[in-house]
Amino acid sequence: MQSSSEPCANVRAASFVLIRARTLCPDCGCDTEVVALALPQAHEWRDDDTPDCWYRASGPAVLFNLSRLGQASSAAIEEHSRGFRPTDAQATALWRNHCAGCNRPLSDDQLHCEPGGAFMPLGPEAARFEMRHVPVAFSGLAGGYAPEPPFYPQLPAA
């Protein structure tokens, strides 16, 4: 695991999973590849109430509303995805998927929280994901954390 030298991080792991799906842009209708990040079971998290204490997770988790990604994780994500990137050049910027057609950022809430969204399928038959294990240390600030999400049985344990 990474050290706690990144004080703004609330999740960390020795590796992560890049999940690819497809969705239609709500602005221009373009069929666009979108990316989500997940952490394997072997990850740690902390909350605002106990900022000095890291907890071991009991299962994998999908992350969203991400910011303040560590250097190693940022570089690996940029290598594997052109459309998932910060919304601006500030270190505190949210990482968002961007439409391949109009280049507008797509809402994580629509992708991850709305039934039928790219990363919230309505059933196992709708869960059409491509997953890639990235053996690079991950750290970041996750505004959204979905532990052991349904229809993700193929998330690796380590």
CB-CB contact of 140 with 67 (8 Å)? yes
Tens digit of pLDDT at every position of the chain (158 positions)? 444 445 589 999 999 999 999 999 999 999 999 999 999 888 999 988 888 899 999 889 999 999 999 999 999 999 999 899 999 877 678 999 999 999 999 999 999 999 889 998 887 777 788 889 999 999 999 999 998 877 665 665 55
Please tell me the predicted confidence (pLDDT) of residue 3. Answer: 43
Please tell me the predicted confidence (pLDDT) of residue 34. Answer: 96
Amino acid identity, position 134: V
CB-CB contact of 98 with 104 (8 Å)? yes
| Phi, psi at 53, each rounded to 5° | -115, 125
DSSP lists the bridge partners of residue 18 as 37, 132
How far apart, in whole angstroms, are the C-alpha atoms of residue 125 and residue 74? 31
Please tell me the predicted confidence (pLDDT) of residue 7. Answer: 57
Please tell me the predicted confidence (pLDDT) of residue 151. Answer: 66
CB-CB contact of 57 with 44 (8 Å)? yes
